[in-house]
Amino acid sequence: KMAPAFKPFIELKGHRKYYQKWPGHVKSSYGFGWRIHTLKENESGAEETIWHHGGSVNNYRNEIALFPESDLGICVLINGPSKLVKTVIPDLRAIVKSIYEQEIAIATSI
């Protein structure tokens, strides 16, 4: 029943919004309350979907992003003005991705 919220409804053209400057940004659309972004990996060329919403009131700020293909969600709450919000989602995604891609050595003897 939530699917319509994440279906692209209106294309958001231009490149002035902070999320349109995220690395690999291809396009952005608006669903019902959520922005739907398509990003492309530089190395592999693979596309990834992000469901994103951010906003502020009285100097409190939030950024929420869901990465459905990666089964990952990121929520950042900030209680004051900060330029961090412009890049916090792709920055945290890069950190998580680098951790996921690490090989884990498993001891074979006890």
pTM of the model: 0.82
Model pLDDT for residues 43-100, shown as the tens digit of each residue: 888 999 999 999 999 989 999 999 999 899 999 999 988 889 899 999 999 999 899 8
Radius of gyration of the chain (CA): 16
The C-alpha atoms of residue 35 and residue 26 are separated, in whole angstroms, by 13
8 Å CB contact between 48 and 67? yes
Nearest-CA neighbor of 36 among 16, 20, 57? 20
In sequence order, the β-bridge partners of residue 85 are: none
